[in-house]
Structure 1
Amino acid sequence: MVNFLIKKIKNRWTGYIIVFIIFGVTIWSSNKIVYELKIEEHKRVENYAKSLELLSSSEILDLETQDFLFKLIKDNNSIPVALVDEKGNIIDSKNIDERIQKDSVLLKKYINELKKSDQSIEIKLINGKNYAYFKNSKLLNQLKYYPIAIFVLILAFFGFTYWYLKTIKDTEKSYLWAGMAKETAHQIGTPLSSLMGWVELLKFEEIDQSTVLEIEKDVNRLKDIVDRFSKIGSKSELSKNDIILITKQTVNYISKRISKGIEVNFYTDVEQFIININPPLYSWVIENLMKNAADAMQNKGVLDIFISTKDYKYLEITVADTGSGIPAKLKKRIFEPGFTTKKRGWGLGLSLAKRIINEYHKGKIFVNKSSKETGTEFKILLKK
C-alpha cells in the first residue's frame, strides 16, 4: 500500500515537471522569437533612415538606386515611425493612426511617447540632424503576451482534464454505491419476508401484544429501509405529502431508539405543509442526521429539529445538536462518498443524504454552522 502511494505521488510530480518543462520551453522560444523580431524591426527602421539620408545627400544617384531606396522607405508598413528635426518639428510619420495624424495635439503627445521608448536613430539630412523615433509593431506587442496566452490555455486544459477525470471518478463511485445499495436491499428482502410472516403468527399467540407491536414497527422500519435502498440509483418519484407529519413520525421513531440521555425537541411554525417529496428517502435523510447527531453528542445532549416556512421560496429544515462540532478542515469532505470519522462507518449516510436532497428533490443540504462550543447545525432547503 505504501509503495502504491509513493508511486502515485511520483507519477503526479512527473506530470507537474512535464508541465513546467513545456511552459519553460514555450516561454524561452517565444522570447527568442520576440527578440529576433525586435532586431529585424530595428534593421528595417535603420534601412528607412539610411535611405532618407542617401536621398537627401548631394551625391548624384542613378534612377535604379533611387527606386530601390524609395522601395526601402515604403517597405515599412507596420512599425510606427516619426521623423523629427532638432527643433522638434515633425517632418514625416508612418504607420501612425490616421486620427492621431490629423490632430496636431494628439500627434505631438504620441511623438513624446515615442521619445520615451528610447528607440531612435539619428539621420543627417540637408536641414541638419533629424531623429527617427519608433516603437514596436502591433505584431511584436502581441507576441509578448503569447506566453501568457499559452500558460492560460495549459491551465485551462489541465483544469478541464482534472474536472473530467473527477466527474468520471465521482460517477463510478455513485454507480458503485447505488449497486451496493440495490444488492443490500435484495439480500435483506428474503429474511425480511420471513420476519413479517413470524410477526403475523405471533399476533395469534397468547403473549404480550405490546411487544409484538414494537417488533412489527421495527419490521416495518426494515421494510422502509429496503424500499429506500432499492430506490438509490433509480429515478425517484415525488408526490404531494405532509412534510410536517413525515418528519414528526421519523423524529418520534428515532427518538425511542437513541440514548435516553439525549433530549429531542421538534418544532414547527405550522401544523401542516404539503410539498412534493419522496417520503421514504426524505425520512432516511432525517434519520441519518439524527443518528449522526447522537454519535457526535456521545449519547448525551440536546437535539433540535425545526421546520420553518417563513422563507418565500424555500422550506427550511434545521437539525441542530450540542455535540463536539465538525473541524473546519473536514467541512468540505463530510459529504464525500466513503468519507467517515467513525471506526466502523462506511461513509454512506451523508453522501446519500446529499444525493437525495440535491439530485432527487432539487434542494440543498449543508452545514450551516459548527463549533466545538455550540455543536453542529445542518440545514435542508426544499423548494416550496
Structure 2
Amino acid sequence: MLSLNQSPSKLKWFVILFASLIGLASLYYTNELVDSLADREQEQIDLVAKAQELVVQVEDSLMLNFLVTSILQGNQSIPMIIADGEGNPSESRNIKFKKNATEEEKDNILREYLTSMKAARSPIEVKVSEEWKYYIYYENSTLLTQLKYFPYAQLSLIAVFLIFAYFLFSSSRRAEQNRVWVGLAKETAHQLGTPLSALMAWVEYFRADQSVEEEILQEIEKDIARLTMITGRFSSIGSIPDLNSENVLEVVEGVTEYLKKRISTKVKLTIRASKNAKLYALINKPLFEWVIENICKNAVDAMTETGGKGSITLFFSSDRSQKQLILDITDTGKGIPQSQIKTVFRPGFTTKKRGWGLGLTLARRIVEQYHNGKISVLKSEVGKGTTFRIILATSE
C-alpha cells in the first residue's frame, strides 16, 4: 500500500492542481450558463415590452387574451415593475410582499425595488402613443442570482476541502514520524540493555582488583547510572509519563552539576533565580532533565566558533498572575539566523556536521505534549547568542 508520506510534496501539489481545475471549470461553465440565462431573461422582458405595446393596438379579443395570458402573465420568475415617467409604479410581477401588507406598504416596497432596478440597468421604454409611454424595470430572477453566486460557494467548499486535506496529510505525516521516533527510541533502549549489564559486571570485576582506585570505579558507576537513566528515557518515549511536583531549580542544579564535569572548563554554567520565584511544577524528572541537558549541550556546541569558550545562564522567574514558572536558558554561542528560528524545532534541523537534528524536536515534544508547557526561542542574535524559554504551570 502506498503511504501518504512517500511523496507528500507531489501529492499536495496534485490535490491543489486538481481542486483548482475543478474550481476553474465550474466557474467557467457557470458563467456561461449565467450569461445564457441572462440573455433569455432579457429577451423575455423585451417580448413583454412588445406585448404591452400590442395590447393597446390589437382589436381582436382572442389575440388580446393570448397576449395577456401567454406573455404578460407567463413571466413567473423575473421581478418586474411598470412605472410612468415620474417613477410611479402601476403594476408589478414577481415582487414579494409580506403577508397582509397594506397598499401603502406595497407602494413603498415597489419604490425601493425601483431604486435598485434603476441602479442596475436602464429600463425598457414602452411607447403606446405619442403622448403616452411608460417604462418596464426589472432585475435578475432568483434562479439567475443563485446561479451567479454558486461558483463562489463551490470554490469556498473546495478551499475547505484543501484545508482539510492539508491537515489530514500533515497529521498523517506527523503520526508516521512519531511512530518512527518511538520505534527508534525503544529499539535503542533495547540495544543499550545488554552492554549496560556487561559494564556493571566489569565494574564488580575491577572492584575485586585492589590496584584499581575506588574513585575511578565510582565515576564509572555514575556514568553507568546515567546510561541506565538515558535508556529509561528512550524506553518511555511513546508512553504517558508520570508527573510529580518537583523543585525545578533543584532538578536543574543536578543536571548542571553532572554536565560541569563533562563539558569544557572554558564554559561557565550559572543558575540564578528571581526573588520569590515559584519553583515547583508538575514534571517527569528524567524527561525534563533530558530537555535541560539537550539545550545546554547544544549551547556548548554553539561555542565552537569562539574556541569553546563562553557561558550558559539558567534564570528562573515566575508569572504569578498566570501561575507559570519561567526558565530562560541563555548562551553566548554563535546564535541562530532569524530565517532559521522558526525551523529549529523541526526534525532534522542541525547546525552541526554530525547529528540527526532530533534533540530540540524531542525537547519540544517533552515540554509541550508531556508537560503541557511551552518552549520557544525567546531571542537570538548571530555572533552573540541565543535564549530559549521554557514555561511550565506551577504546582504550588
- Does the CA-based 8 Å contact 1:173-1:337 persist in structure 2? no
The CA deviation string for residues 296-324 of structure 1, in whole angstroms up to 9 with x for no partner, is 12222121112223343221121111122
Q: CA deviation at 1:285?
A: 0.4
Q: Which residue of 2 aligns with 1:191?
A: 195
CA separation of 1:174/1:12 partners in 2, compared to 1, >3 Å: closer, same or farther? closer
Q: CA deviation at 1:381?
A: 1.2
Alpha-carbon distance in structure 2 between the residues aligned to 1:202 and 1:377:
44
- Does the CA-based 8 Å contact 1:34-1:140 persist in structure 2? yes
Q: Does 1:343 align with 2:342?
A: no
Q: Which residue of 1 aligns with 2:251?
A: 246
Letter in 2 for 1:257: R
Q: Which moved more, 1:21-30 or 1:205-214?
A: 205-214
Q: Which moved more, 1:195-204 or 1:330-339?
A: 195-204
CA separation of 1:58/1:309 partners in 2, compared to 1, >3 Å: closer, same or farther? closer
Q: CA deviation at 1:31?
A: 0.5
CA separation of 1:13/1:354 partners in 2, compared to 1, >3 Å: closer, same or farther? closer
Alpha-carbon distance in structure 2 between the residues aligned to 1:59 and 1:67:
11
Letter in 2 for 1:124: K
Alpha-carbon distance in structure 2 between the residues aligned to 1:49 and 1:342:
82
- Does the CA-based 8 Å contact 1:320-1:375 persist in structure 2? yes
Q: Which residue of 1 aligns with 2:218?
A: 213
Alpha-carbon distance in structure 1 between the residues aligned to 2:11 and 2:160:
21
Q: Which residue of 2 aligns with 1:74?
A: 73
CA separation of 1:271/1:380 partners in 2, compared to 1, >3 Å: closer, same or farther? closer
1:128 to 119, 132, 135: 132
Alpha-carbon distance in structure 1 between the residues aligned to 2:278 and 2:164:
47
- Does the CA-based 8 Å contact 2:278-2:318 persist in structure 1? no
Q: CA deviation at 1:38?
A: 0.6
Alpha-carbon distance in structure 1 between the residues aligned to 2:382 and 2:30:
54
Alpha-carbon distance in structure 2 between the residues aligned to 1:193 and 1:213:
16
Q: CA deviation at 1:9?
A: 7.4
Alpha-carbon distance in structure 2 between the residues aligned to 1:10 and 1:358:
31
Alpha-carbon distance in structure 1 between the residues aligned to 2:383 and 2:105:
73
- Does the CA-based 8 Å contact 2:8-2:169 persist in structure 1? no
Alpha-carbon distance in structure 1 between the residues aligned to 2:92 and 2:303:
82
Alpha-carbon distance in structure 1 between the residues aligned to 2:278 and 2:30:
69
CA separation of 1:8/1:247 partners in 2, compared to 1, >3 Å: closer, same or farther? closer
**The residue matched to 1:338 in structure 2 has which SS?**
coil
Matches within 5 A, 1:251-290: 251-269=256-274, 273-290=279-296
Alpha-carbon distance in structure 1 between the residues aligned to 2:179 and 2:42:
64
CA separation of 1:254/1:271 partners in 2, compared to 1, >3 Å: closer, same or farther? farther
Q: Which residue of 1 aligns with 2:315?
A: 306
The two structures, once aligned, show a CA RMSD in angstroms of 2.6
Q: CA deviation at 1:17?
A: 4.5
Identity %: 39
Q: CA deviation at 1:8?
A: 8.7
The CA deviation string for residues 183-236 of structure 1, in whole angstroms up to 9 with x for no partner, is 111111111112123334444543432222222211111111001001011221
**The residue matched to 2:343 in structure 1 has which SS?**
coil
Alpha-carbon distance in structure 1 between the residues aligned to 2:14 and 2:193:
50
- Does the CA-based 8 Å contact 1:244-1:272 persist in structure 2? no
Letter in 2 for 1:30: T
TM-score (norm 2): 0.86
CA separation of 1:83/1:272 partners in 2, compared to 1, >3 Å: closer, same or farther? closer
Letter in 2 for 1:289: I
Q: Which residue of 1 aligns with 2:147?
A: 143
**The residue matched to 1:316 in structure 2 has which SS?**
strand
Matches within 5 A, 1:153-232: 153-206=157-210, 207-232=212-237
Q: Which moved more, 1:317-326 or 1:332-341?
A: 332-341
- Does the CA-based 8 Å contact 1:296-1:324 persist in structure 2? yes
- Does the CA-based 8 Å contact 2:291-2:366 persist in structure 1? yes
CA separation of 1:129/1:245 partners in 2, compared to 1, >3 Å: closer, same or farther? same
Q: Which moved more, 1:226-235 or 1:122-131?
A: 122-131
- Does the CA-based 8 Å contact 2:16-2:162 persist in structure 1? no
Which residues of structure 1 form unaligned runs of 5+?
Answer: 1-6
- Does the CA-based 8 Å contact 2:246-2:281 persist in structure 1? yes
Q: Does 1:92 align with 2:91?
A: yes
- Does the CA-based 8 Å contact 2:19-2:162 persist in structure 1? no
The CA deviation string for residues 135-180 of structure 1, in whole angstroms up to 9 with x for no partner, is 1123322322222222222222122212211211111111111111
Q: How many residues align?
A: 377
Which residues of structure 2 form unaligned runs of 5+?
Answer: 1-6
Alpha-carbon distance in structure 2 between the residues aligned to 1:131 and 1:259:
94
CA separation of 1:16/1:157 partners in 2, compared to 1, >3 Å: closer, same or farther? closer
Q: Which residue of 2 aligns with 1:115?
A: 118
CA separation of 1:30/1:350 partners in 2, compared to 1, >3 Å: closer, same or farther? same
